[in-house]
A and B are shown apart, each in its own frame.
Chain A
């Protein structure tokens, strides 16, 4: 059988399906931000951004930006009814204090014990961490969305991260371009995979053993771009 990896929008769509009605959610800068676009109808989700806003909405039309109203990625946002502002210490109290239901982050590498590396790939250049090391602590679930492998084909799901760590044992679920994997008891538990990819092939693209318990469901999404 042949298969085609999911596009970023499709991975984001899959992650969005797991967000419950009434959830408070922080979406990391970049691809995780796409999750908001695919919020299932009928669910009310409140988005948090580190710079002190709860309940923000879509980007304003070009030309209507107010640059005092931005998200953590420094992009202009709008407010939904019920939004609120607060200072940075309150904002990170929401993060570390366990008040968020979900944080969704990007990754360079995720290890089978839940370690995450997502802030720098080596020791060269200017280091910049932002809120990444705080965001991995406190939310009830901390998920990653990522390509299954790097641009040059190396596994991003690994036994042990080789890049500098963002947090230790913090990730609970990974949505990739090929599969949905939970992290349980220091192991990758495969929950879903693309129907067309064999277990052998998926394992060959993964840097640590994939465990299963019961059936592995087909990972299916709409044809999004």
Chain B
């Protein structure tokens, strides 16, 4: 078994039109910029994959990464908690023009919906959003005298994540706070592709340090010197 993929182009080659795609990261921390840009490259060259639903905490920043995906027109819907950033124009313009849909989810509920999908739990109750407009139309139930909101699992066709080190079985480690949504998304997608700074041989990651076990990962692609979204934004880089 060897889950390593030859290059970024191969890594995103199977994402179809209309797919639901989870993209890891919180702002620029842990964001798989190279995988996102490979997806944009494919869309620009072939017109596919189009009509995507993208799941991320945010909705892009500046003119790179998810913002560049949105600008390109390949995203039909965002599922996120905070579609704002230091430069949110890509999403804001399309949203106000009615050209992109938004499902707004409280951040902890978003994380738990993704985790639940990975864990085979179709629904759960949370206190978050009770009594607010985000609970409208949802089932409410009391437990121990307190009201809770029923939330459904959130699955995806693909997850694109960023990790630090991966081995050929897809075991992953993460860097600093770049972990965030990445391990959860690995669990919740039919197919998970991880970009890693380094692919190592089996046995070279201490099992005690593995954060995402390879069972949750389908492919790893090496991006030896990955770009950092925040650094790109601060240096004014645009991806088009």
Does B bind A?
yes
The listed residue with most B CB atoms (<10 A of its CB), out of A69, A91, A128, is A128
A128, B82: Cβ atoms closer than 8 Å: yes
The listed residue with most B CB atoms (<10 A of its CB), out of A88, A95, A131, A137, is A88
Q: Give chain B interface residues in 62-117, CB to chain A under 8 Å.
A: 81-86, 88, 91-92, 95-96, 102, 104-112, 114-115
CB distance from A53 to the nearest CB of B (A): 5
Question: Cβ of B153: which chain A residues have Cβ within 8 Å of it?
Answer: none
How many A residues, CB 8 Å from partner?
A: 37
Name which residue of chain A comes closest to B148, CB basis.
A137
Interface residue stretch chosen among B3-11, B40-48, B175-183:
B175-183
B129, A68: Cβ atoms closer than 8 Å: no
B132, A51: Cβ atoms closer than 8 Å: no
**How big is chain B's contact interface, by range?**
35 or more
- Pick the contact of B112: A51, A67, A89, A128 (CB < 8 A): A89
Name which residue of chain A comes closest to B149, CB basis.
A133
CB distance from A68 to the nearest CB of B (A): 4
CB distance from B29 to the nearest CB of A (A): 5
CB distance from B120 to the nearest CB of A (A): 14
A165, B132: Cβ atoms closer than 8 Å: yes
User: CA–CA, A125 to B84, complex, Å?
Assistant: 11
B30, A95: Cβ atoms closer than 8 Å: no
Question: Cβ of A1: which chain B residues have Cβ within 8 Å of it?
Answer: none
Which B residues are within 8 Å of any A CB, using their own CB? 26-30, 57, 81-86, 88, 91-92, 95-96, 102, 104-112, 114-115, 126-134, 174-184, 211, 228-231
